Amino acid sequence: MDKNITPKVGVGVIVFRDIDGKPHVMMHQRRGEHAEGYWGTGGGHLEVGESLQAGALRELREEAGEDLAVGDVKLIGIVNFTEMKPKHFVDITFSCAWVSGEPTNSSPEETTDWQWVPLDNLPKPLFPPVIRQLELLRTGQAMSDSAF
């Protein structure tokens, strides 16, 4: 393995909203070279000097637009994501509650339009870190680990 390759830090946000009394998750399909066609939530790379939460919320604004307002931001956990070798990310993801506004596709070259998807009927294929973050949220664990 190339010792010059190091893991990257990813930050993400899973936005929840109740619609007709049922929990929904804001999702889109990924485009581009990394996991094209997989369903995911907001996220991307942490920038140098940025806090984890600020980075996750910046990525959400960049991908879903300024009109979407969220609150009650909480850490879900950490995922050591190695399922798409040779890519390796350490993902830190937060959950938050929808407050107002609707997401817009601010990155059409990276994703399809946003959709509110029922939590009990998530589309497939799901981006592996999202599967693992939802499992952390369900179980209350703080970390999901893996390796090549």
Instruction: Name the pTM for this structure.
Output: 0.94
Instruction: Give domain status of residue 7, yes or no.
Output: no
Q: Cα separations (Å) of 145 from 39, 46, 132?
A: 21, 19, 9
- Range(s) of the domain holding residue 98: 15-144
Q: How confident is the model at residue 57 (pLDDT cuts 50, 70, 90)?
A: very high
Nearest CA to 97 out of 72, 78, 77 is that of 72
In a domain, 84, yes or no: yes
DSSP letters for 63-89: HH-SS-EEEEEEEEEEEEE-TTTT--E
Domain count, the chain: 1
- CATH code: domain of residue 29: 3.90.79.10
104-136 confidence digits (pLDDT tens):
999 898 889 999 999 999 999 999 999 999 999
Q: What is the pLDDT of residue 1?
A: 63
| Degrees to nearest 5, angle at CA 98 with 95 and 103 | 105
Q: Is residue 113 part of a domain?
A: yes
What is the helix (H) or strand (E) element at residue 90, kind and residue range? strand 89-100
